[in-house]
Chain A
Amino acid sequence: MEMKKVTTKSMPYEDWKDNEYIESLVQELRDSGTNIIVGSLDTLINWGRSNSLWPLTFATSCCGIEFVSLGAARFDMARFGWEVARSSPRQADFMMVAGTIVNRMAPVFRRLYDQLAEPKYVIACGSCAISGGPFRKSYHVAKGIEDLVPVDVFVPGCPPRPEAMIYGIMQLSRKVKVEKFFGGVNRQENRKEYLAAHPVEENK
Chain B
Amino acid sequence: MNIQEKIAGFFPEASFEEGEILRIDIPAEKLHELAQKLRDEFGYDYLVTIVGMDWTDSLGCIYYLMNTADKSQISFKAATADREHPALDSVADLWKIAVILEREVYDFFGIIFVNNPDMRRLFLNIDWVGYPLRKDYDENPELNPVTTESERQSDETYVWKREDGKLVKHVERVFQDDDFVVNIGPQHPATHGVLRFRTALDGEIIKKIDVYMGYIHRGVEKLCENLQYPQTLHFMDRLDYFSAHNYHHGLCLCIEKAMGIEAPRRAQVIRVIMDELSRIASHCLFIGTYCMDLGATTMLFYTLRVREQILDIMERTCGARMTFNYSCIGGLMADIHPDFVKDVKELLAICPKNVAEYNKLFTGNVITKGRLEGVGVLTHDDAISYGITGPSGRASGWACDVRKTHPYSIYPELKFEQVVRTEGDSMARFKNRMDEIQQSVDIINQLIDNIPEGEYCAKVPKIIKLPEGHWFQIVEGCRGLFGVYIESKGGNQPYRLKLVTPCLNLASVVDHITRGDKIADLITIGGSLDYIVPDIDR
A and B physically associate = yes
Known: A60-B193, A64-B193, A105-B186. A134 touches B321 (CB 8 A): no
B308 with A72: CB separation less than 8 A: yes
Interface hits, A126-151 → B, CB 8 Å: 134-135, 137-143, 147-148
Distance of A97 from chain B, by nearest CB (Å): 12
B323 with A158: CB separation less than 8 A: yes
Chain A contacts for B241, CB-based, 8 A: 61-62, 65
Chain A contacts for B194, CB-based, 8 A: 60, 105, 108
B187 with A134: CB separation less than 8 A: no
Chain B contacts for A120, CB-based, 8 A: none
B238 with A68: CB separation less than 8 A: no
Per the bound structure, the CA–CA distance linking A61 and B226 in Å amounts to 23
B189 with A139: CB separation less than 8 A: no
Interface string of B437-459 (1 = CB under 8 A from A): 00000000000000000000000
Distance of B457 from chain A, by nearest CB (Å): 23
Known: A60-B194, A66-B321. A107 touches B149 (CB 8 A): yes
Q: Contact partner of B188 among A60, A87, A110, A143, CB < 8 A?
A: A87
Q: Is B215 an interface residue (CB 8 A)?
A: yes
Chain B contacts for A66, CB-based, 8 A: 321-322
Chain A contacts for B533, CB-based, 8 A: 60-61
Interface hits, B303-345 → A, CB 8 Å: 304-305, 307-308, 311, 321-323
Per the bound structure, the CA–CA distance linking A202 and B212 in Å amounts to 24
A105 with B234: CB separation less than 8 A: no
Distance of A197 from chain B, by nearest CB (Å): 11
Q: Is A57 an interface residue (CB 8 A)?
A: yes
B304 with A105: CB separation less than 8 A: no
In the complex formed, the residue of B with least CB distance to A148 is: B148
Main secondary structure of the interface of B (DSSP, over half): loop
Chain A contacts for B151, CB-based, 8 A: 104, 107
B187 with A106: CB separation less than 8 A: no
Stretch at the interface among B40-48, B139-147, B427-435, B489-497: B139-147
In the complex formed, the residue of B with least CB distance to A108 is: B186
B217 with A140: CB separation less than 8 A: yes
Distance of A111 from chain B, by nearest CB (Å): 8
Q: Is B117 an interface residue (CB 8 A)?
A: no
A103 with B144: CB separation less than 8 A: yes
Interface string of B131-173 (1 = CB under 8 A from A): 0100001010100111111110000000000000000000000
Q: How many Cβ-Cβ contacts under 8 Å join chain A to chain B?
A: 137
Q: Is B300 an interface residue (CB 8 A)?
A: yes
B534 with A68: CB separation less than 8 A: no
Known: A69-B308, A107-B149. A139 touches B188 (CB 8 A): no
Chain A contacts for B149, CB-based, 8 A: 107, 201
Per the bound structure, the CA–CA distance linking A58 and B187 in Å amounts to 7
Distance of A72 from chain B, by nearest CB (Å): 4
Interface string of B458-481 (1 = CB under 8 A from A): 000000000000000000000000
Chain B contacts for A71, CB-based, 8 A: 300
Chain A contacts for B146, CB-based, 8 A: 103, 106, 142-143, 147-148
Interface string of A110-127 (1 = CB under 8 A from B): 111000000000000000
Interface string of B214-243 (1 = CB under 8 A from A): 111111101100100000001101100110
Known: A105-B194, A148-B148. A138 touches B219 (CB 8 A): yes
Q: Is B31 an interface residue (CB 8 A)?
A: no
A61 with B189: CB separation less than 8 A: no
Chain A contacts for B300, CB-based, 8 A: 68, 71-72
In the complex formed, the residue of A with least CB distance to B194 is: A60
Q: Is A55 an interface residue (CB 8 A)?
A: no
Q: Is B301 an interface residue (CB 8 A)?
A: yes
In the complex formed, the residue of A with least CB distance to B238 is: A62
Number of B interface residues in the complex (CB < 8 A): 51
Per the bound structure, the CA–CA distance linking A61 and B323 in Å amounts to 12
Interface string of A46-84 (1 = CB under 8 A from B): 000000000001111110111011011110000000000
Q: Contact partner of B322 among A62, A73, A142, CB < 8 A?
A: A62
In the complex formed, the residue of B with least CB distance to A56 is: B187
B219 with A134: CB separation less than 8 A: no
Per the bound structure, the CA–CA distance linking A68 and B284 in Å amounts to 13
Known: A65-B322, A72-B300, A74-B304. A107 touches B218 (CB 8 A): no
Chain B contacts for A62, CB-based, 8 A: 237-238, 241, 322-323, 534
Per the bound structure, the CA–CA distance linking A111 and B217 in Å amounts to 19
B238 with A61: CB separation less than 8 A: yes
Per the bound structure, the CA–CA distance linking A3 and B473 in Å amounts to 63
Distance of B6 from chain A, by nearest CB (Å): 43
A135 with B219: CB separation less than 8 A: yes
Q: Contact partner of B218 among A59, A102, A106, A201, CB < 8 A?
A: A102
Chain B contacts for A156, CB-based, 8 A: none
Distance of A69 from chain B, by nearest CB (Å): 7
In the complex formed, the residue of B with least CB distance to A103 is: B146
Chain B contacts for A187, CB-based, 8 A: none
Q: Is A171 an interface residue (CB 8 A)?
A: no
Known: A65-B322, A139-B139, A140-B124. A102 touches B216 (CB 8 A): yes
B215 with A73: CB separation less than 8 A: no
Known: A65-B241, A105-B186. A140 touches B218 (CB 8 A): yes
Per the bound structure, the CA–CA distance linking A143 and B218 in Å amounts to 12
Chain A contacts for B234, CB-based, 8 A: 134
Per the bound structure, the CA–CA distance linking A69 and B301 in Å amounts to 9
Per the bound structure, the CA–CA distance linking A137 and B241 in Å amounts to 21
B219 with A141: CB separation less than 8 A: yes
Chain B contacts for A134, CB-based, 8 A: 234-235, 238
Per the bound structure, the CA–CA distance linking A139 and B214 in Å amounts to 13
Chain A contacts for B222, CB-based, 8 A: 138-139
Distance of B76 from chain A, by nearest CB (Å): 30
Chain A contacts for B215, CB-based, 8 A: 60, 102, 104-105, 108
A159 with B150: CB separation less than 8 A: no
Chain B contacts for A111, CB-based, 8 A: 150
Can you offer 16 A-B residue contacts whose CB atoms are under 8 A?
Answer: A59-B193, A60-B216, A60-B534, A61-B534, A65-B242, A65-B285, A66-B321, A74-B305, A104-B151, A107-B148, A107-B149, A107-B151, A137-B226, A138-B222, A140-B132, A198-B148
Q: A69-B308, A100-B534, A140-B144 are in contact. List 7 more A-B contacts (CB 8 A).
A: A61-B193, A62-B237, A72-B304, A103-B144, A106-B146, A108-B186, A138-B218
Please give me the 9 A-B residue pairs with the lowest Cβ-Cβ distance, nearest first. A138-B219, A110-B148, A72-B304, A142-B146, A62-B241, A61-B534, A87-B189, A135-B218, A107-B150
Interface residues of A (CB under 8 A from B): 57-62, 64-66, 68-69, 71-74, 87, 99-100, 102-108, 110-112, 134-135, 137-143, 147-148, 158-159, 161, 198, 201
